[in-house]
Structure 1
Amino acid sequence: MNYTATLISMGHGVCYALVSVLFIFLAKLLDDRRTKDFDDDRHIDDGNMAVGLRRAGLYLGIAIGMVGALSGDSSGFSDDMIYLVVDGIVITCCLFISRSINDHIMMGHLHNDRECVKVFVLEDGRTTTGNTALGMVEAGMYIATGFILNGSMSGGGGSFYQSLGSALLFFILGQIVLLALGLIYELITPFNVREEIKKNNPAAGIGLAGILVALGIILKSSLSGPFTGWVTDITGFFIYTVFGMVLLLVFSALADRFLLPTTNIATEIKEDRNVAALVVVQATIIAVALIIAHAI
Structure 2
Amino acid sequence: MNYTAILISMGQGLCYALVSILFIFIAKKLDDWRTKDFDDDRHIDDGNLCVGLRRAGLYLGIAIGMIGALSGDSAGFQTDMLYLFVDGILITGCLFLSRFINDFIMMGHVNNDQECTRVFILGGGRTTTGNTALGIVEAGMYIATGFILNGSMSGGGGSFYQSLGSALVFFVLGQIVLLVLGLVYEMISSFHVRDEIKQNNPAAGIGLAGILVALGIILKSSLSGPFTGWVNDIVGFFVYTLFGIILLLGFSVLVDRFLLPTTNIATEIKEDKNVAALVVVQATIIAVALIVAHAI
TM-score (normalised: structure 2): 1.00
Paired residue for 2:187?
Answer: 187
Other-structure match for 2:217: 217
Q: Residue 196 in 1 paired to residue 193 in 2?
A: no
Shift of 1:19: 0.2
Q: Number of aligned residue pairs: give it.
A: 296
Distance 2:213 2:181 in 1: 11
The whole-number CA distance in structure 2 between the counterparts of 1:6 and 1:181 is: 46
**Which amino acid in 2 is paired with 1:160?**
F
**How far apart in 2 are the matches of 1:121 and 1:131?**
11
- Partner Cα distance (2:82, 2:117) in 1: 38
Matches of 2:45 and 2:16 in 1, distance apart? 30
Q: Does 1:266 align with 2:269?
A: no
Structure 1: runs of 5+ lacking an equivalent: none
Asked if 1:34 corresponds to 2:34, the answer is yes
Distance in 2 separating the partners of 1:232 and 1:222: 11
Indicate the SS of the match to 1:124: helix
**Tell me, what secondary structure is at the counterpart of 2:60?**
helix
Report the CA distance between 1:71 and its aligned residue. Answer: 0.3
The one-letter amino acid paired with 2:117 is V
The equivalent of 1:130 in structure 2 is: 130
Q: Give the counterpart letter for 2:101 in structure 1.
A: I
Q: What's 1:117 paired with?
A: 117
* CA distance in 2 between partners of 1:168 and 1:110 (Å): 25
- In the TM superposition, residue 123 of structure 1 has moved relative to its aligned partner by 2.0
1:158-197 CA-to-partner distances (Å, cap 9, x unmatched) read: 1111111001000000000000000000000000001000
In 2, the alpha carbon distance for the partners of 1:145 and 1:163 equals 16
Q: Report the Cα offset of residue 109 of structure 1.
A: 3.4
Distance in 2 between residues matched to 1:211 and 1:109, nearest whole Å: 21
Instruction: Report whether the alignment pairs 1:156 with 2:123.
Output: no
Aligned to 1:47: 47
Measure the CA separation in 1 of the matches of 2:199 and 2:125. 15
1:173 corresponds to: 173
Report the Cα offset of residue 124 of structure 1.
1.7
Match of 2:70 in 1: 70
Whether 2:80 is the aligned partner of 1:80: answer yes
- Percent identity of paired positions between Structure 1 and Structure 2: 83
How far apart are 1:228 and its partner, in Å?
0.6
Distance 2:157 2:201 in 1: 45
Question: Unaligned regions of 5+ residues in structure 2, if any?
Answer: none
Deviations 1:253-290 (A, max 9, x none): 00000000000000000000000000000000000000
TM-score, with structure 1 as normaliser: 1.00
Supply the AA of the counterpart residue of 1:146: G
Aligned partner letter, 1:73 = D
Structure 1 outlier segments of 4+, above 4 Å: none
Over aligned residue pairs, what C-alpha RMSD do you find? 0.4
SS at match of 2:125: coil
Matched, 1:93 2:77: no
Partner of 2:17: 17
Counterpart CA distance in 2 for 1:109 and 1:281 is 28
